Amino acid sequence: MKDIFEYTGYRQYIADFYAERKVKSAFTWREFARMAGFSSSVHLKYVSEGRFNLGEDAVERVAKAMGLSGNRLEYFRAMVEFDHAVTDNIKKEIFDRMLSIAKQSNAKVIEGDAFRYFDSWKNPVLRELAPAMPGAKPLALAKACRPKVTAAEVSESLNFLVKANLLLKDANGNYVQTDKFVTTGPMEAAPVAIRGLHRQMGEIALDAIEGVPQNERHFSGVTLGITRNAYDKIVAELDACRRKIIEIATAEDETDEVYRLNLQFFPMTNKQSLNKKG
């Protein structure tokens, strides 16, 4: 079984623990529940499936049943808190704590780099900008960014991008991308950072309305009354459009400017109220 630090979801960890024990012996959910002090034989099964949450008072008992102690116990506690947290700010605080616990054990959380990459707009921008400015120092890169950043912030971002293998630095000190574009894949924690990134980019887009000449930006919108069926079709069309734009952008090796494309399609009404009769 993988080490606990390779997980960010406690439910999957419980499911994998059970699956491994089941392969090696006649282990059952009933026995697992008994070891953790539950009267219901299916309680932990339902927790692993997302049907029940793991109560705060039960975390220690379940962790003990799985043989967790020290930093691994602390990490398991944090995973439960992360899953149950209701706001992105709280989730981010907890995930940062998870990364710190893993670091204390000389372990690396697989999703940690993805989380940090999407946590700040500077990382995706500098990943595109640095290769387009060969030989540029952090101060020059900082001056080229919009909005303003410091040279120290640029250096921190570049060091992270290289460490995370999102950029390579050649013998001449120039940066090159390891891949054309970055995607998250199926990850537990990255969506929290991505939602934060969308907020940051939305604020930058608002500033661009006044701060960028009209012939250098494109803003348009339309307000529509639609059905769920139309919504699904429009989303599919937007996804296809986004993929086509990526294809156009990555077909050329050179970069004159770094742009951000926000595709935003969201409700302006409350469905429950709209459908309410009378």
pLDDT reported for residue 8: 92
pLDDT reported for residue 278: 52
pLDDT reported for residue 35: 96
pLDDT reported for residue 184: 61
pLDDT reported for residue 179: 82
Residue 207's Cβ-side half-sphere holds a number of Cα atoms within 13 Å equal to 9
Helix or strand (DSSP H, E) at 70 = helix 70-84
- What is the average pLDDT across 143-172? 94
pLDDT at 136 over 60: yes
**206-239, pLDDT tens digit by residue?**
999 999 999 999 999 999 999 999 999 999 999 9
**7-45, pLDDT tens digit by residue?**
999 999 999 999 999 998 999 999 999 999 999 999 999
- What is the average pLDDT across 162-184? 87
Helix or strand (DSSP H, E) at 168 = strand 167-169
Q: Over the chain, what is the mean pLDDT?
A: 91
- What is the average pLDDT across 236-255? 92
Q: Check: CB of residue 187 under 8 Å from CB of residue 194.
A: no
- What is the average pLDDT across 178-192? 72
| pTM exceeds cut of 0.75 | no
Say how many C-beta atoms besides its own lie within 10 A of residue 239's C-beta: 11
**262-271, pLDDT tens digit by residue?**
999 999 888 7
pLDDT at 81 over 60: yes
pLDDT reported for residue 188: 72
Percentage of the residues of the chain whose pLDDT score is greater than 90: 75
Which among 70, 57, 67 is positioned nearest to 1, based on CA atoms?
A: 67
Parse the chain into domains and list their residue ranges: 4-109, 118-212+224-250
